[in-house]
């Protein structure tokens, strides 16, 4: 996909909507490899120079996500990538697998997740 101001706004709106549904604070969003490399090192530590290989990357400690618009070819993949990265933010302890994929599918279908409450 080609990043233009309209697509940037559309992505930021979707991130806001899904963040609200998932009861997480809205992360900062980077949309180009250049933006990742221009961000301070401590924010993008771990997957700084390899981010371009992926559709998206979550930087949990920095409340930051990268959506690689250049690599994404269609609207469905874009939406899936946004939800995928935000599920990482909402469930940081959960790795990829059946449960993770189920949560992504539920998120895409509109499920809301209550604020995480630690048990006393």
Separation CA 98–CA 52 (nearest Å)? 25
The pLDDT score that the predictor gives to residue 47 is: 83
Contact 78, 55 (CB under 8 A): no
Low-confidence ranges of the chain (pLDDT < 70): 116-120
> Cβ contacts of residue 24 below 8 Å, gap of 6+?
86, 89, 90
Residue 26 has what DSSP assignment? Answer: P
* Structural domains in the chain plus CATH codes: 5-108 (3.30.2010.10)
Residue 51: per-residue pLDDT: 83
Predicted TM-score of the model (pTM): 0.91
Per-residue model confidence (pLDDT) at position 117? 60
């Amino acid at each position: 996909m080609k990043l233009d101001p309209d697509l940037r706004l559309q992505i930021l709106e979707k991130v806001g909507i899904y963040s609200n549904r998932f009861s997480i604070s809205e992360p900062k969003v980077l949309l180009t490899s250049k933006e990742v490399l221009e961000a301070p090192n401590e924010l993008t530590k771990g997957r700084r120079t390899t981010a371009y290989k992926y559709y998206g990357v979550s930087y949990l400690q920095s409340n930051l996500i990268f959506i690689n618009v250049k690599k994404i070819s269609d609207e469905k993949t874009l939406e899936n990538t946004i939800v995928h990265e935000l599920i990482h933010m909402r469930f940081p302890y959960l790795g990829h697998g059946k449960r993770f994929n189920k949560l992504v599918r539920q998120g895409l279908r509109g499920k809301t997740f209550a604020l995480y409450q630690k048990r006393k």
